[in-house]
């Protein structure tokens, strides 16, 4: 039980940092679009990466070189730039939150969720490498409990922010509110893109 709690609080402390993935989950909650699916993909992805890290840390650490990190950062930057441009376009177009035309298709939602999850090198540094390194000397049974605890934290976090956002969306009933939210997302993602760009420059 102690390793379950250790995994839970360690995982929660890592995931609480606000990033592109979390902002996307919140946005989907506010728009009431495929919330369960988005939260499930994010949570299951964390679960997979957590257990890969816990049990295969020694194997993976030799492959995650600076060049691999550079490739992931470049892909993430391209993804973020595309996302910001699409957000700017949607802000300047006529925006009505009640119109189905503003809703992402299922395919696009899944692609964006996977993009925000797997193109971010920090996802791997937190789940595979930090948790893997942290638990490398645990017994097998302790690793299982630790991984389950960290995975529970992930499920709890993503479903909480997704459905809390859905709850608060009831109070956002005009296009002005949504344009402000869009502007915040554009600023945040643009700042994140700049941060990734600086990371790329430092890695070159």
106, 34 contact by CB (below 8 A): yes
- pLDDT averaged over the chain? 83
126, 14 contact by CB (below 8 A): yes
50, 57 contact by CB (below 8 A): no
Hunting for tokens 């990466």 — which residue is that? 49
Token pair, residue 113, equals 């969720």
The answer to whether the predicted template modeling score (pTM) of the entire model surpasses 0.85 is no
Q: How confident is the model at residue 61 (pLDDT cuts 50, 70, 90)?
A: low
Decide which of 5 and 126 is more confident: 5
176, 85 contact by CB (below 8 A): no
CA 116 from chain centre, in angstroms, equals: 5
Among 163, 160, 161, 135, smallest CA distance to 150 is for: 135
**Long-range interactions of 171-179: CB distance < 8 A, separation 24+:** 172/30, 172/97, 175/95, 175/96, 175/97, 178/95, 178/97, 179/91, 179/95
Among 48, 12, 47, smallest CA distance to 161 is for: 12
Decide which of 185 and 109 is more confident: 109
* Rounded mean pLDDT, 116-134: 83
């Amino acid at each position: 039980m102690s390793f379950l709690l250790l995994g839970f609080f360690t995982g929660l402390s890592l995931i609480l940092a606000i990033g592109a993935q979390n902002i996307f989950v919140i946005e989907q909650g506010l728009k009431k679009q495929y919330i369960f699916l988005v939260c499930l993909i994010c949570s299951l992805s964390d679960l997979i990466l957590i257990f890969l890290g816990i049990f295969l840390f020694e194997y993976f650490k030799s492959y995650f070189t600076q060049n691999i990190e550079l490739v992931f950062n470049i892909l993430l930057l391209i993804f973020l730039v595309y996302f910001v441009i699409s957000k700017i376009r949607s802000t300047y177009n006529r925006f009505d939150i009640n119109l189905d035309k503003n809703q992402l298709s299922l395919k696009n939602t899944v692609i964006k969720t996977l993009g925000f999850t797997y193109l971010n090198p920090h996802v791997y540094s937190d789940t595979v490498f930090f948790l893997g390194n942290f638990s490398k000397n645990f017994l097998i049974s302790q690793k299982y409990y630790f991984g389950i605890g960290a995975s529970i934290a992930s499920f709890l976090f993503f479903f909480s922010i997704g459905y809390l956002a859905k709850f608060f969306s009831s109070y956002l009933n005009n296009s002005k509110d949504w344009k402000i939210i869009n502007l915040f997302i554009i600023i945040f993602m643009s700042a994140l893109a700049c941060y990734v760009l600086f990371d790329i420059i430092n890695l070159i």
